Amino acid sequence: MIFDDRYHLHVGYYKNQNDIEAIFYKVKDQNIWCMFFDNDYYKLNIQEGYPAIKNFGLLIGIYPTESEDLPVEQGAELFEAFLNEQQLV
C-alpha cells in the first residue's frame, strides 16, 4: 500500500481522563483511508488480528470515502468506535 504524502489526519479520544490517539493515512490515488494505532506506545489490551505495519503501527481500520478528504469529526468517531469495540474505554 502506498500512501499519499499530502494527506494524513490525527485523531484522539480525550473523554473520561483518557488521552489516546491514532492517525489516518490516505491511500495514494484512491479515496481510502487507513487508521493506524501505536500500541507499542499505549500498551492497551487489543485483541489479536490487526497487522503491524513497520513505521506505522497496527492497521486497525480501512475506510473508503466518497471524496479525498476525511473530516476530523468522522475520523474521531471511527476511532472511538474502535476503542468501544475493543472495550478499551
pLDDT digits (tens, 9 = 90+) for 74-84: 999 999 999 99
Kindly report, residue by residue over 24-76, the tens digit of the pLDDT.
999 999 999 999 999 999 999 998 889 999 999 999 999 999 888 999 999 99
For residue 75, give the C-alpha cell.
475520523
Residue 36, judged by CB atoms within 10 A of its CB (0-12, 13-18, 19+), counts as: buried
